[in-house]
Structure 1
Amino acid sequence: MRRVGVAPCPAQQGESWMWTIVCDFDGTIVPFDVTDRVLDQFADPAWQFVEEAWKHGRISALRCMRLQVAMIRATSADLDAFLDTIDIDPQFPAFVDDCRRAGMPIAVVSDGLDYVIQRILARHGIDGLVVIANQLVPGGDGTYTMAVPYAVAATCKARSGVCKCNQAARLAAGRHRTLLIGDGRSDFCLGEAADLVFARGALLAKAREQGWPAVDVPDFTAARLAFAKLTGRLAEVA
């Protein structure tokens, strides 16, 4: 996806831009990595050695996730009970409403697991939100595998199960500017390509290092204010 710069605030120039909002899940909607918590709870401790292999570049993010998911042993009831203990940023539902009122599409695009994300969002009353993630496939005996319908192995620089750049380009379809909201390594490739980044954590540090157009957004209270400024709708969050 070609980067075309940052739109001035419509409140300043009297013109409204359409944005497609691509939002990460782990470390963003939830303040920690949910997949890691699931692995801590239900997987063979060897998952951490797999994680280290990925961090040091010895295996791809896709292979890392596949190996780790295969280490999980949990009944569906136990997995659900655990997921139901996880809270999201309390302002995220309001942020989704802000996007919808502005007529701007928002999707969760994550290199995590679809069922995990959908279960957590549904418990917090968030329905109808597009979720693009790796598919968690139960084996029926407490085992799991991972399907990757969104992988683009030949071109994905992140070597992830979900190519965020590919999905962002598809969602925006050349008509909208892309706003990325994220926090970590899985967001770096799209961070370089997006028109604007609402960033925290490692993504914010990377954006500052590389000079990407970014706003420091530590939570969705800040994200709501930044989005309102961007779209000229400050009165709605005042």
Structure 2
Amino acid sequence: MGLKPIIFCDFDGTITQIDVTDLILTELAHPSWREVEQEWVRGAIGSRECLERQMALVETSETELNALIDSVPVDPHFEKFYRFVGRRKLPFYVLSDGFDYVIRRVLRRAGVDGQLCNGTDLFASSLRLEGRRVVTSYSYPPAPCGHGCATCKVGILRRMARDHHPTIYIGDGLSDRFAVEESDVVFAKRKLAAYCQERGVACQQFENFAEIESAVRGLIGKPPARRPRPSVAPVTAD
């Protein structure tokens, strides 16, 4: 890759070893959240509507929520990978349909601080507690996403892939499917890997970030096969 690649990475089930939002819903929400989930899986609703309705079913305290978040295992190789991209000065962004409160707490526990934790390189929805109820808000995109996403990952990717830099996408689930269609290099596992295989999207399957670090080292300096992307103005996270 002549130009330095820009790396975009999912959070739930990718940086973490389980989906944190699913854990919160399983432990703290009314069981009807699963019915809403099936509407999303069928394509009847987008992830934004899905999460709005699901998180409204959660009842918890800050202490309970934090204890649950603190139980979430992180890929043991992620911190080393993050330090690697920092040393190589490779732009790295987390794009998540999950929630900034959760992500920052997990990343700080994992030893990752700086721009990811203060939000500069993090694009996610927001969460706060009002009493024992969870209130969510959605900033990306500022206008409705055509797919109804909570965070429009493909829209952010288009805007951040400035000056025709090649893009690398890392993910594990269906919320990543639109972004991988426009990424030059894809690392995928679980449902995302199956989606890529079904749709003929070239991907490298992975189990952990040690494998990704090794692969990215091999990619640096080599020109990738490029996917066409529309030219759009850049965007920055809050």
Q: Name the TM-score, length of structure 2 as normaliser.
A: 0.85
Q: Distance in 2 between matches of 1:188 and 1:48?
A: 21
Q: CA deviation at 1:153?
A: 5.5
Distance of aligned partners of 1:34 and 1:178 in 2 relative to their CA distance in 1, 3 Å threshold? same
Q: Distance in 2 between matches of 1:82 and 1:202?
A: 24
Q: Distance in 1 between matches of 2:52 and 2:172?
A: 22
Select 1:192's aligned residue among 162, 181, 195: 181
Name the residue aligned to 2:19. Answer: 33
Q: Distance in 1 between matches of 2:32 and 2:145?
A: 30
Q: Distance in 1 between matches of 2:173 and 2:29?
A: 23
Q: CA deviation at 1:49?
A: 1.2
Q: CA deviation at 1:151?
A: 3.0
Give, as a single letter, the amino acid of the residue that structure 1 aligns with 2:169: L
1:177 aligns with 2:163: no
Q: Distance in 1 between matches of 2:163 and 2:53?
A: 36
Q: Distance in 1 between matches of 2:205 and 2:184?
A: 15
Runs of 5+ unmatched residues, structure 2: 222-238
Q: Note the 1:157-236 alignment, pairs <5 A.
A: 157=147, 159-231=148-220
Deviations along 1:70-123, whole A, 9 cap, x unmatched? 111111111111111112000000111111111111111011111111111111
3-state SS of paired residue (1:193): coil
Give, as a single letter, the amino acid of the residue that structure 1 aligns with 2:151: V
Q: CA deviation at 1:137?
A: 2.4
Name the residue aligned to 1:136. Answer: 127
Give, as a single letter, the amino acid of the residue that structure 2 aligns with 1:66: E
Q: CA deviation at 1:155?
A: 4.5
Q: Distance in 2 between matches of 1:48 and 1:62?
A: 15
Q: Distance in 2 between matches of 1:137 and 1:64?
A: 17
Q: Distance in 2 between matches of 1:50 and 1:18?
A: 41
Name the residue aligned to 2:234. Answer: none
Q: Name the TM-score, length of structure 1 as normaliser.
A: 0.85
What is the count of residue pairs matched by the alignment? 217
8 Å CA contact 2:12–2:19 kept in 1: the answer is yes
Q: Note the 1:22-171 alignment, pairs <5 A.
A: 22-128=8-114, 129=116, 130-139=121-130, 141-151=131-141, 154-157=144-147, 159-171=148-160
Q: Percent identity?
A: 36
8 Å CA contact 2:18–2:72 kept in 1: the answer is no
Runs of 5+ unmatched residues, structure 1: 1-6, 8-15, 233-238
Q: Distance in 1 between matches of 2:72 and 2:151?
A: 23
